[in-house]
Structure 1
Amino acid sequence: MSDDNNVSVKKQDIHDDNQHVPELRFSEFKNNYISVYLKDISSKVRDKNKNNKIQDVLSNSAKYGIIHQKEFFDRNITNKNNIDGYYIVDKGDFVYNPRISKNAPVGPINQNLTGIKGIVSPLYTVFRINNDINSKYIKYYFLTTKWHKYIKSVANYGARFDRINITQKDLFNLPLKLPSSNEQKKVANFMELIDQKIEYLEKKYRNQIKFSKELRNKFLNKHCFFNDNWVEHDIKEYVVEYKEKVNFNNNLPILSSTLSGIYLQEDYFNKNVNSSDVSNYKIVPKNYFTYRSMSDTGKFKFNIQNIVEKGIISPAYPVFTTKNINDKYVYEFLNYSNSIKRQILKIKEGGTRYALGFSKFKKLKIEVPSFKTQCKITESMNLCYQREENLKKEIKIMKKFKKGLLQKMFI
C-alpha cells in the first residue's frame, strides 16, 4: 500500500457505516481509509501435513494466542498417528479458530508468532497476508471487535453451541478498512510498544512473586535474618474458636473461602449458590480466620476475613481468632510453612480426602519466634504483597489502555 492510497486492491463501498477515519489517529495522516475484503489482502493456506512430517501441533487460544499444544495443555492431546491432513502454519500465518468463548465471542484470529512452523486441526482456517500489507497491523486489527458484527451476521451456531459455522467464502468476504502503508506501520509499531510495556510489567510481577516466595521461605523454613529462638507450640495455645451462628433474620453477606482467598459469594460465583436456609451458617467477623475443613489434595487455605464487618459462611468452615500472637504471622505460617504441610499430609483419613476439623486443627504445631520477630516478618511480607498488588494494578491499567486504543485506532 502506498501513502496516497493507490493500492493494488479495488476500492469498494462494503461497509454499513460511513466512518472513513478512526476516532484516534496520528496527526500527520489525513487520507481516508480504504475498504477491502479479507480475500483481497490474503490467501488461504491449503498445504497439508504429509506422512506426519511436521510433529509440532499448535493451538489457537483466545487468551494466549497461537501456542504449542503441549505448552497449552501440559501434554500433547493429539494422536501423533493421526495428524496427516492437518493444515501447515508457517511463521507469520494467521489462524481462525471457530470455537467461541467469553474472550472470543466469534472465535479468535491470531498470528503464528511462535517462531516455528507447525500444524493445526482441519477445523481451523489458515491464511497468509499479502506482502504489501503490514501483517502486524492486521494482527492488532483482529484483537479488536470491529470485525465481530460481520461474522455474527453471516454465521450460524448449528448444533454445536460452542462453535461458529461459517463458510470459507463468507470468512474471506470479511470487510476491512485500511490506512496507507506508512500509517499501518506506525500504528502497529505503537501498539507493539504498548505490548512491550505490558510484557515488562508482567515480567516484573513474576519476579516479585518469586522474590516474595523466596523471602517467605527463608523466614519460615530456614529462620534466616533473625537471631532468635523459635519455639514449637501446639497451635491451640494461640487460637480461639468462634461459634456464633446466624439467626433467622439474617441479612449478612455470604462468604466463600477458597484456595485463592476469601470472597463475597455473589462476586465469586456471579450469583448466590447457597440454599435459602442459612440458619446454621457461622458468622465470620472482620479479621477472623476461616477455612474449608475438607480437601481432595491436602491443600488448605486459612483466610483472614477482611472484606466486610461481618459475613456468614457454611457450617463446614471453622472460624477462629488468635490470642497472644501476631495474627498475620499465623496466616503466613499456616499457609506457607513446610512444617504445616508435613503435618497435614499425616492426617489423611480414608479414601482420597483430607479432613481437618477444628479439633484436629488445634493439635497442629506452630513454630513461634519472639513477637518482635513476628512483626518484622509480617511487615516485610506485607511490603512484598503491596508491591505485587501495585504491579497487578499497573498491568490492569495498561491492558485497559491497550483495549481502548484498539477500539479507537482501528475501523
Structure 2
Amino acid sequence: MVEKIRKLKNPVVQEARELARSKNRILKNKIQLHGLEQLQWAKDAGLKIRSIFISEDESAEDYKCFSAPIYQSSDGILKKITETNYLISAVGVAEGIANRDLSEEFVLLLDDVKDHGNIGTIIRTGKAYGINDFITTNEDFDPYIPKTIDASRGTSFKVNFRRYNTPKQAVSYLKKKGYQIIATSPYGKSLQSTVALDKKPIALVVGNETSGVSDEVLKEADHIVQIPMYTGVESLNVGVATGISIYELRLKEALTMLAEKIISSLGREVNVTSQLLRSAFDIKLKEISEFSGDQVIFLMVLKRESQMNKEQIEEQFGYSGDRLAEFISPLYEQGLIKKEYEELEITKEGEELLAKLWPIHEKTENLILKDFTEEEKENLKGYLEKIQQNCIQIMKYQV
C-alpha cells in the first residue's frame, strides 16, 4: 500500500527532512538514505528502515522487498527532504546503530579526517581487513553523509563508531582499554614494516589530510612509523596510506600474536571440544559397556541413516584402513551391524543395545551441559547447525 503525501508539513516528511543535517542525524541516531542502492545496503546490514519516500515517476513495485511504509511525493517535497537542488527519486529513513564498547584486537582511530570520500574509503578498506571499530577525535563526526555511504559501499552500516570531543580523550580511552597506539608520520623513526609490536591490541591512527596526526596523539603514541616512499612523492592519499598500513600491521599482528591466535582459533576450539566430548562419553560408557563413545554414536548415526558406506564412515568419524577395521570389527562380532552389498546396516541387536545405552548417553550429555539453561541449550544447538550449514556450503563450491 502506497500513501500519497502532498503537504510539506506532514510529520513523516518533517522527520525525514530533519535528517538532511548531520547534527540531527547524530542527535537522533537516525540515517537519511539516498536512492535504492543505499536502501538495499541498509536492509542487508540489518538496519530498521522506518519510511521510504519515492517520486511520482518511481514504481512502488521496485520497493516491495522493504517492509517500511512507502510514501509517494512530489519532486519538490523530495528536494526539500534532502535539501538538494536536484532530485533524488527515493529517500529512506533508518534507525542508526547503537554504539557499543570495543571488542576487537585491531581498531582505527580517525584523527580529524575531513574528506567524506576518504572517510568512506577508509571504512570500506578497514572492514575488508576485518576491522569493525572506528574511533573519532571530533564529536560531530558523521559516517552517514551520502557521499561517505557511497564511498564505503554501505559498509558504514556494518561497523561501530565511538566519538570523542578531543584527540586526548580518544587516546585516553584506548589506553585504558589496553591498546597500543600506532601513529603514521613522514618523520617516524621506524619503518612501518619493521616496527616491533607489543603483544597488545592495536589502535592505528589515521591523520588529517593536510596536517596529519595531531601532536596530542603523537605525544601519546607507543610507536610512530613511516611508510617509505621514493623521492618525488610528497605523500599518499590518506585512504591509500590506510590500506597499506592496515595490511602491514595486520601481518605483523598475526606474527606477533600467532601462538595466542592459534589457542583461540575456531578450528582448535572445535577440535579440543570434540576430543573432550569423546573422552567424556568413553568414560561413562565403559562403566557398563565394552564399546567406545564413537562406536555408540556410529550406531546412532547408522540407525538414523539406515545405511552407510566406508567412505561415509571415514568422512564422519575419521577412521580409515586398519583403524576403520579395528573400529567396526567388534560391532560385527557382536552382531550389532551387518553388511548389505557395500553398505552397512544396524541389526535388531544393535538397536536393542542403543536402547539400553541411551539413558547413559543422555545422562552424560546432561552432565556436559550442566548449568546450561534450556534457552542456552537451544542456542548452542542452533549455532552448531549454522556452523555445519556454512561448512557444507563451502564444501559445495570446492573445485
Common fold: TM-score over 0.5: no
The alignment's TM-score, normalised by the length of structure 1, stands at 0.24
The answer to which structure, 1 or 2, has the higher relative contact order (CA under 8 A, 6+ apart) is 1
- Which structure has greater helix proportion? 2
Q: With the length of structure 2 as denominator, give the TM-score of the two structures.
A: 0.25
